[in-house]
Structure 1
Amino acid sequence: MRVLVLGGGGREHALAWAIARSPLLTKLYAAPGNAGIADLAECVALAIEDGAAVAGWARRQAIDLVVVGPEAPLVAGVADACRAAGLAVLGPDAAAAQLEASKAFTHEIAAACGAPMAAHAVFEDAGAAKAHLRAMDGPAVVKADGLAAGKGVVVAETLAEAEAAVDAMLGGQFGAAGARVVIEERLVGEEASLFALTDGETVLEIGSAQDHKRVGEGDTGPNTGGMGAYSPAPVLDAALAERAMAEIVRPAIAEMARRGTPYRGVLYAGLMITAAGPKLIEFNVRFGDPECQVLMLRLGSDALALFAAAAEGRLAGIAPDWKPEAAITVVMAAKGYPGAYEKGAEIRGLAAAAGIEGVTVFHAGTAAREGRLVATGGRVLNVTATGADLAEATARAYAAVDAIDWPEGFCRRDIGWRALGR
């Protein structure tokens, strides 16, 4: 099979790595890719949010499967354009991608299908939003309604913090994504991520993980795109995972089909495991980043065969296989992230890091320049490891971090702390 992966981050490197291991693969392309992906695929320059450009190029190259990594191309309708051109695509059409593009829409779907979710209200006026905050019984979560690269959520500790978040979002911090804010009650419990693969009818659970959104150790500081993750998530045991599938994931997918906008691709359910059971925090319409990195290391099945079956409506009767090992990934980011940071610093020591047993280093924001590997993004490397248990995987990952020579980078040193402390 000839495959095109859209995206250039750590998630896409992990997807390319998994696809490249398939005996079904004959040629792999990535757009735009990065320095790590370039070792596995031919990187091409494409405007990945331009559906016509992607579909036209893929048709000319006789691509058998388009795998869309990030959410923005899906929201822009790239999957629609590819399907209209007769191409198989892993990823939902734009109408179904509203599950991530609009948090208010997710609440609408949850209400329609009975999925448990936090009480909420939607506002375009700051004064009305603040009045609602003052009337709430308990702390609030303030969210930009649209796409904000994982940073448009403020879990407010105080009323003043919540009001400041309203002012920032409605004041243009996230552009059009913050034209509306969603204010939710703050759920109490432990967060976990559950992933499903669907062809619009058959729905398969494809693993659990826990992410670390805050930039600082102990889950402090501002939200980021994710500073690390591990899989499986101990808090989401088999019984709770099935309950979340039965009460949240399958009903939502059924509701999308009922509305005439079937959901096809990967659906990521961000959950809060409360005393009353799992509740939905958000849906994402693709693999998480960095959760994808740990899932791909644990996946025992042929990733390309699974993805192609989902894209072609052939998931019935398929069951993914998982390796028994635990996996963890530690994000190395440029100092200053998620705020301003410098680019262009050289990174050394990756060969030594990758030489440690069980370690795979995925690139997130890198480029090759004049024979040197340099940092080009905020999140730059995903130092990922497997082990017989999470403790072994964690020891291997941090040994690899210590082997990398990049003074301009940093990481959290407590990834996996919840699970390790159980």
Structure 2
Amino acid sequence: MVRNRVVVTGMGAVTPLGATKDQLWENLIAGKSGIDFITKVNRDDFPVKVAGEIKDWDPQLYIDKKETKRMDLFTQYAVGAAKMAVEDAGLNIDDQNADKVGVWVGSGIGGLETYEEQFRKFLAKGYRRVSPFFVPMLIPDMAAGQISIQLGAKGINSCTVTACATGTNSIGDAFKVIERGDAEAMITGGAEAPLTNMAFAGFSTARALSFNEDPQTASRPFDKDRDGFVMGEGAGILVLESLDSALARGADIYAEIVGYGSTGDAYHITAPAPEGEGAQRAMKQAIEDADLKPDQIDYINAHGTSTPFNDKFETTVIKAVFQAHANELLISSTKSMTGHLLGAAGGVEAIAAIKAIETGIVPPTINYQTPDPECDLDYVPNEARRKTIDVALSNSLGFGGHNATLIFKKYLA
């Protein structure tokens, strides 16, 4: 079977570091943090005090006011980022190509804010006061559905839900759709709006979140004093396109997507498999899929959640997969600045990996102060670094034992 080459022609982002991809990138390479004190819930109710909130979001820049009221926040973020990405790609979707443009956008949780709000109405006033839009606003696939409706994309339309691996799996699955010839272009990534009472309650009782009350130091991947992740919200969306389609319309190309790996741990609902065995296989699959050797990888955008287990095991995984080359790799966790965007993380981090290829600048891991003997690789501490990046790899790992890896490469004709 002929495998179509697939390239990235558009990107859009809504994140705690800014409501555009350019704001995101400028703040990432400046080492700025988007983490601050929680305002969306009463932080006195929780041991967690900080989060990566979006503070400058205006949905009416992208969505009609009436339609906005029928979308949960995660869907608003997704539609906004998708419209930015399609505009960035210069992709015109019309009757000539609509059935060849698909959407594959996931969410790890979906409309949690909508669920809480409508359940309160149900308890207080009964079922008749529950919105008729409750279910369409709640379900995770509605981000993909609304993007399709808003943009007129009539190709394959799907939603991946693999917890924190959602965005990466979505992009990988969309990549394969184009590669095998089932679409010419795909709008793909992840979206999440989880900053609600129940999300803070659940992650707090699971002791997954950082209880550090200092916004500037709470997210500290690979640092010895890390104590949990900082929850964030947003969306990261790419436009993927067959190379033939991109060349035919004279599109600018950011990078080529060349590898995808996806595995399951079959081990535990939240803990990674011993030695990160499943993540190892995902990375090896992606490298093999890309027809590359491990020593051809220049940069890894790590999952790097700032939890004790994840960062230790991801370091172990990188060493196992790359052997001696692990010490030559540049590795960073942009979650140190954005927080953990759950199902949106893979989309946002794919943008960071692609921009590293495009600009030759690797974003840092900020708040790295105290080295951990069990995390002893080059995490690009605290300051961005200039280096030519030809190949970048991005990892995402999710509850349920989901592991996903993407590989992007500098485009060469």
More strand by share: 1
Same fold (TM over 0.5): no
Q: Which has the higher contact order (CA 8 A, sep 6+)?
A: 2
Q: Give the TM-score taking structure 1 as reference length.
A: 0.25
